[in-house]
Structure 1
Amino acid sequence: MTMVTTRDGTRLYCKELGHGRPVVLIHGWPLNSDSWDPIALALAEAGFRAIAYDRRGFGRSDQPWHGYDYDTFSDDLADVMAFCGIDTDVALVGFSMGGGEIARYMSRHNGKGVTQAALISAVVPMLVRDDSNPEGVPEATLMEMVQGMREDRAHFFVQFFKLVFGVGFVSKPVSSELLDWAWSMAMQAGLHPTIAAAKAFGFTDFRGDLASITVPTLIVHGTADKTVPIDATGRETARRLHDALLIEYTDEPHGVIATQTAALSTDLITFLTGGLDSVQAGLRQAVVDAVTAQSISSSLV
Structure 2
Amino acid sequence: MTAAFPATPTLPPRPFLKWAGGKGRLLSQYEPFFPSAIDTYYEPFLGGGAVFFHLAGRVRRAVLGDINPELVNVYCCVRDQVETLIRHLWDHQRRHTPDYYYQVRQRQELRSPVERAARLIYLNKTCYNGLYRENSQGHFNVPVGKYKNPAICDPSLLRAAAAALQTAEIQTFPFEQLLERALAPDDFVYFDPPYHPLSSTSSFTSYSRYGFTGADQARLAAVFRTLAARGQRAMLSNSDCAYVRELYQGFALHPILAARAINSRAGRRGKINELLITTP
Q: The TM-score by the shorter chain falls in which range?
A: 0.3 to 0.5
TM-score by length of 2: 0.35
TM-score by length of 1: 0.33
Q: Which has the higher helix share?
A: 1
